[in-house]
Amino acid sequence: MPKRPAQNSIRPWAVAFWLLVWQGASMLFATLWPNGHLLLASPVSAALRLGELAVTAGFWRAIGWSALRIIGGFLLSCCAASLLAVPASRWRWVRELLSPLVATVKAVPVASFIILALVWLDSRSLSCFIAFLMVFPPVYLGVLEGIRQTDGKLLEMARVFRVPLGRQVRGIYLPAVLPHFRTAVSLGLGLCWKAGIAAEVIGLPGGSLGERLYSAKVYFQTPDLFAWTAVIVAVSVVFEKLFLALVDALAGKAGC
């Protein structure tokens, strides 16, 4: 039986269609106004500009600069959220203590946090901090839910047979938590890149992807704007795929 595409899968023909629409709109703008090509750069000019940028050292430095901070914030947040979910699952007061914090981070607009954080931190640490904040609630709540759904009967069995904690974690907790962790991380990865780059655009730390994006806007270099946007999307997608593959490999090893 032929494999049916997933409901939200991206089909090449649909991508080609929208690229053509983009190209058409760009050509229309260029025809209607003298500097119309500046209002909407064509996909071809964006791709050509991306090619030019990709051979420069500054391009890779900017990617490295932002990726280091955003991925660093993401990883730190995953560790902190997972570690805090453990006592929160055990003691109600820890859960209650963290609950307003998590609710606040979820409810407050990211721009407010960015501006507030700019008061406390220098712009170079901003994207790391914002990525940390964005990832914390979904990962904390996901891991907490996973621990709470761990089969209590299996834990009793392990207790009777005096199975050491390390083995209980690998055999009972990990298979219960990893599916929740994966869902949370998938959500958090998208959020942390969007919010991290937004923080860089506002904070303008030198050498970051956000700064390049902002400069492109200021100097009306729309091909650059699209090229840098494509780079940000590509880097976030590649990291998401790599990290989720790592989680899946871990889940496979745990037998999930």
Partner 1 sequence: MELQVHNLCKSYGGETVLRDVSFTAGPGVTCLMAPSGAGKTTLLRILLGLETADSGTVRIPADCRWAAVFQEDRLLEQLDAMGNLRFVLGKDFRETAASALLGELGLGDVGNKPVRDFSGGMKRRLALARALLAPSDILVLDEPFTGLDGENRARALACVRRAAEKPVLLVTHDEADAADLDAVLLRL
Binding footprint of partner 1 on the chain (CB under 8 A): 153-154, 156-164, 167, 171-172, 175, 254-256
Task: Report, in Å, the least distance between residue 171 CB and partner 1.
Answer: 5
Task: Report, in Å, the least distance between residue 169 CB and partner 1.
Answer: 12
| 106 vs 159, beta carbon nearer partner 1 | 159
Distance CA 66, CA 186 (A): 19
| 76 vs 254, beta carbon nearer partner 1 | 254
Task: Report, in Å, the least distance between residue 167 CB and partner 1.
Answer: 6
| 100 vs 255, beta carbon nearer partner 1 | 255
| 27 vs 154, beta carbon nearer partner 1 | 154
Distance CA 139, CA 134 (A): 9
* 101 CB neighbour count, 10 Å cutoff: 13
| 168 vs 215, beta carbon nearer partner 1 | 168
Q: How many helices (H) and strands (E) does the chain have?
A: 12, 0
* 157 CB neighbour count, 10 Å cutoff: 13
Distance CA 202, CA 197 (A): 9
Distance CA 204, CA 211 (A): 5
Distance CA 254, CA 34 (A): 62
Task: Report, in Å, the least distance between residue 180 CB and partner 1.
Answer: 15
